Structure 1
Amino acid sequence: MPHKTRPMAALLLFTGLNVVLVSTITPVYDFVCFLPYWERRRERLRVERETTPAKASTSG
């Protein structure tokens, strides 16, 4: 048999990788969700929503 199976090493590697991924998800989530780009976009959309009804009511 040319290949040795090492279930304990595989299990430890899998568990270690999951621990690393779980511990890094919060900073990555915070970085992506709270970028200034999203804040500016949200503010721009809010301003557009506030100005759109005023334009629609005066044009009719």
Structure 2
Amino acid sequence: MPHRTRPMTALLLFTGLNAILVSTISPVYDFVCFLPFWERWRERICQEREATSLKSSEAR
């Protein structure tokens, strides 16, 4: 075996990295999910959907 394995170091590194990722996911999620761009996009899609449903109901 060319090098020594260090299971405790790997475990601590893995746990530390996961702790950092878990603590930073909430602000990142809030930033991505609640951007004004997405709000405008959702409103536009909703309006387009309503317009097409009104158009199809008028055609009947």
Task: Please give the range of the TM-score, normalised by the shorter of the 2 chains.
Answer: 0.7 to 0.9
Report the counterpart of residue 36 of structure 1 in structure 2: 36
Give the structure 1 partner of residue 45 of structure 2: 45
Which blocks of at least 5 consecutive residues in structure 1 are unaligned?
none
Partner SS, residue 2 of structure 1: coil
Q: CA deviation at 1:53?
A: 2.5
Identical aligned residues as a percent: 72
- Mean CA deviation greater in 12-21 or 30-39: 30-39
Cα RMSD (Å): 1.6
Unaligned 5+ segments in structure 2 are none
Which amino acid letter does the alignment assign opposite residue 4 of structure 1?
R
- TM-score w.r.t. the length of structure 2 is 0.79
Structure-2 separation of matches of 1:7 and 1:54:
64
Give secondary structure in 2 for the equivalent of 1:55.
helix
TM normalised by structure 1 equals: 0.79
Question: Which residue of structure 2 lines up, in the alignment, with residue 55 of structure 1?
Answer: 55
Q: Tell me the residue number matched to 2:18.
A: 18
